[in-house]
Structure 1
Amino acid sequence: MKKWLLIILIMMSALVLAACGTAENDSDSSNGSGDATQEDQSSEETPSEDSGDTEDSKVYKIGASQIVEHPSLDQAYEGFKQAIADAGLEAEYDFQSAQNDQNNASTIANNFVADDVDLIFANSTASALSSLQAVNSSGVEIPIIFASVTDATEVGLVEGMDQPGEVITGVQDLHPDAIKNTVKFIDTYFEGATVGLVYNAGEANSVTQIEAVNEAVEGTSLSTVERTVSTSAEVQQATNTLVGEADVIYVITDNTVVSALETVVQIANEQDVPLIVGEPDSVKKGGFATFGVDYFTIGYRAGEMAVEVLTGEKTTADIPVEYPPNMQLFINKGAAEEQGVEWNEDWDEDAQLLETEKE
């Protein structure tokens, strides 16, 4: 009897051990399946490389620097923004005017670099020089597109028209024939005149133009007399000293003088002195005539360059510096009457006639 009880106990123990082994195997199998499922889910939740902004949705940060606010530079800025918009790009602009102060221009440029903007639009020679210095000093390659620069090579922005910089290129505002044609116009219709020049000797672009005027005058019946200023507040007095000495006043695209052009126009009108200017917007403000260019067009072309750079299609080093696309004679007939100019019928066909804009 005892023998049978022992056999039964051994058999029951074996059954219990077998059951436990089966349960442990089932548990191990379940845990393995669960781990595999978690790995699949983790793989599916990995962010896609395309989850960031696409080119179409990107909003570009553009710093826009301008040495001073006056109609020509303002038109170039408007043209620049229009080209960006026409290309379908979205942009946020940080527009800063240096109020005709070179120190302010430098501060603005350094702030743009610190803000890590995508591109700088430098609208004037002073703004372009400050921007290039700030970018070069920082070691950060922020592209610069300039406009309204008289001679980019002369002031050292680039090595040549077909040699743009690693971070800079743009559109000049002085057509190579503009000053020659203007001097020829004065020589033709005001033979033997003394031409009065008022400019800021601190503006590199102005010095370049004055040198070009004096060179163009050589061999003509004309002569020149110069007055220099350092601020717009000095323009009226400097212009007044030309009365009785100058037969014609010629205001080049000097930012300091153009920002105070109304005082020059007033003197020209009161003293019956023909006022020749450097661009069409000054004709609209009361200047008599210019061989000039449309600044909106200059800015627009600069904007097209910016689009190519922002989208990665080109770098600034791939885009040569350009001259203004068009140049023509603009005349303000009302200003001619105010300044005692005898009208020539040829001007009706040769010039685009403009009127003085009312404030």
Structure 2
Amino acid sequence: MKKSLLGIIALPIIALTLAGCSSSASKDKTVNVGVLQIVQHGSLDAARKGFESELTKEIKAKHPKWKVDYNYQNAQGDQANLNTMSRQIVQKKPDMILAIATPSAQTVAKQTKTTPILTTAVTDLKSAGLVKSTNKPDTNVSGTMDLGPVGKQLKLLKSLTKNNKPIGVMYNSSEENSGLQVSIAKQYAKKNNIKLKIISVNSSNDVQSALSVMSNKISGLYLPTDNLMASSMKIIGKVANEKKLPVVTGSIEMAQDGGTATYGINYRDLGKQTAKMAAKVILDKKNPKDMPVETSKTLRLYVNNDRAKALGIDPAKIQEP
């Protein structure tokens, strides 16, 4: 009888102990997210901030007591930094990694084949060698792509030009994502009888001189979502303003920093979209290898009113292509 009585007393104690452990585990859990960014500029910063705010919101909605710790590393455009930082992030064994832009994703993917990696601001994950298929990645990588409507952006620029000179296209040929967009631009131009003058630059020091040389030979300037171009928007905007050249950019943030207009991606929204995928990885234990790569769900017309007015263009007359 004593044994039975002890058993009856012990059961509630064990239950309370287990409940206490569970409660404690819930309160003390910290989600660790490594964040690797190639360089600092408006578009990539917006993607990161959108990701972090939305992921924290998603996790807190389900587990109010959980903490989210972001180990943010920015390589400032240096490949050596990128290699070192990717190793450091992987060594900390985070719950998952966010890789911002193609070089970041490629570098960190070489460091781990097991830690879940989600990307944002990558133009094409398959061509970058990050996934086997966009529908079924079959690697530890998935995420969101930032390939915008290049054809519609060129159409928009054509509507802003005032003469028959070629449209200028400037990009960094060492960025794979930029090369892909320029190829699309060439195809669209050929199909629609648009003349292009394409120039490639490899450093910020070359941007101003290259644009100054080509400015009198073009009717407007198109800039793809290119990290070097995005980092140089203030310089580009200044020269374009002096030469009275309309500038259409690959992203809204680039247009805000010195362009005239765009029909494109909002990177903060893209970061939030990536965060919803990350929430499935962390909260629902989804595996990136089974998560289809996503494209931006939001595209919109953005007009930099001040830049448009400086060119003698009525912002209200700029229409969605």
Length-normalised TM-score, structure 2? 0.87
Counterpart in the other structure of 1:85: 56
Pairs aligned (count): 303
Q: Is 1:300–2:272 an aligned residue pair?
A: yes
Segments ≥4 residues shifted beyond 4 Å:
47-50
CA offsets per residue over residues 194-221 of structure 1, 9 Å max, x none? 1212211111111111111111111324
Contact 1:192/1:221 (8 A) holds in 2? no
Q: Which one is further off, 92-101 or 186-195?
A: 186-195
Is residue 24 of structure 2 the alignment partner of residue 51 of structure 1? no
Whole-Å separation in 2 of the counterparts to 1:56 and 1:331: 46
Computing the radius of gyration from Cα coordinates, the structure with the larger value is: 1
Measured in 2, the distance between the counterparts of 1:345 and 1:145 equals 39
| Cα deviations by residue, 1:47-98 (Å, 9 ceiling, x for unpaired) | 8597376356411111111111111111111111111221115211111111
Structure 1 residues 240-319: aligned runs within 5 Å = 240-319=212-291
1:51 and 1:342 mapped to 2: Cα distance? 66
Structure 2: distance between partners of 1:99 and 1:198: 21
Residue 112 of structure 2 corresponds to residue 135 of structure 1: yes
Q: Does 1:162 align with 2:139?
A: no
Q: In 1, distance between residues paired with 2:227 and 2:250?
A: 11
Q: Separation in 2 of the partners of 1:49 and 1:64?
A: 34
1:233 matches 2:205:
yes
Matched residue of 1:162: which SS? Answer: coil
Is the Cα contact below 8 Å between 1:293 and 1:327 reproduced in 2?
Answer: yes
Aligned partners of 1:331 and 1:351 also within 8 Å = no
Q: TM-score, normalised on structure 1?
A: 0.78
Partner of 2:171: 199
1:103–1:49 Cα change, 3 Å: farther
1:6 matched to which residue of 2?
none
- One-letter amino acid of the counterpart of residue 33, structure 2: I
- Root-mean-square deviation (Å): 2.5
In structure 1, list runs of 5 or more residues that go unmatched: 1-36, 353-359
Alpha-carbon distance in structure 1 between the residues aligned to 2:127 and 2:145: 12
Equivalence for 1:26 = none
One-letter code aligned to 1:321: V
**Structure 2: distance between partners of 1:103 and 1:197:** 29
The Cα offsets for residues 210-244 of structure 1, whole Å up to 9 and x where unpaired, read as 11111111132421122222222222122112121
> Secondary structure at the residue paired with 2:121?
strand
Residue of 110, 134, 138 corresponding to 2:87 = 110
Q: Residue 141 of structure 2 aligns to which amino acid in structure 1?
A: I
State the Cα distance separating 1:320 from its structure 2 match.
0.8
8 Å CA contact 2:101–2:119 kept in 1: the answer is yes
User: Is residue 171–residue 226 contact of structure 2 (8 Å, CA) maintained in 1?
Assistant: yes
User: Is residue 120–residue 145 contact of structure 2 (8 Å, CA) maintained in 1?
Assistant: yes
Is contact 1:274-1:341 (8 Å) kept? no
CA contact (8 A) 1:77 1:299 kept: yes
Q: Deviation of residue 316 (structure 1)? A: 1.0
* Amino acid across the alignment from 1:80: F
Is the deviation greater in 85-94 or in 180-189?
180-189
| Gaps in structure 2 of 5+ consecutive residues | 1-5, 61-65
Partners in 1 of 2:79 and 2:259 — Cα distance? 27
The SS at the match of 2:294 is coil
Partner Cα distance (2:248, 2:137) in 1: 32
Write the letter of the residue equivalent to 1:84: L
Q: Structure 1 residues 121 and 55, CA, compared in 2 at 3 Å: closer, same or farther? A: farther
Is residue 223 from structure 1 mapped to residue 223 from structure 2 by the alignment?
Answer: no
Deviates more, 1:47-56 or 1:232-241: 47-56
Amino acid at match of 2:272: Y
